[in-house]
Amino acid sequence: MDNAAIEEIFETLGPIKIRRMFGGKGIYFDGIILALEVNGEILLKGDAESAPALEEAGARQWAYEGKGKPVKMPYWSIPEPAWDDPDEMARWVRLAYEAALRSKK
């Protein structure tokens, strides 16, 4: 996904920074990572507080294969309805930022 498309997704927060990392991209707001771009997919930061809502909305948690078993990471796919609804996208982006803030504490 190109940087302009990523910036559009997160525009409701304000200006973001995008940095290359591990073959993907880290997406930052106010110096805090709140999302990743991996293989063309945006993954939002989640935590114990936001994960139930993400899961209920149909998002899936990102995992990679590590030493023969999946390792779950605190990042989730964007729920499908958000792609067609800017208000819904803004909601998930805000929740990702809130999860990122909580993880910094």
Tell me: the pLDDT tens digits for 29-83? Answer: 999 999 999 999 999 999 999 999 999 999 999 998 888 899 999 999 999 999 9
HEC per residue, the chain? CCHHHHHHHCCCCCCCEEEEECCEEEEEECCEEEEEEECCEEEEECCCCCHHHHHHCCCCEEEEEECCEEEEEEEEECCHHHHHCHHHHHHHHHHHHHHHHHHHC
User: Which amino acid, 50?
Assistant: S
Question: pTM for the whole thing?
Answer: 0.92
pLDDT in tens, 10-33: 999 999 999 999 889 999 999 999
Domains of the chain (ranges, CATH numbers): 3-104 (3.30.1460.30)
Which residues have C-beta within 8 Å of that of residue 90, sequence separation ≥ 6?
Answer: 12
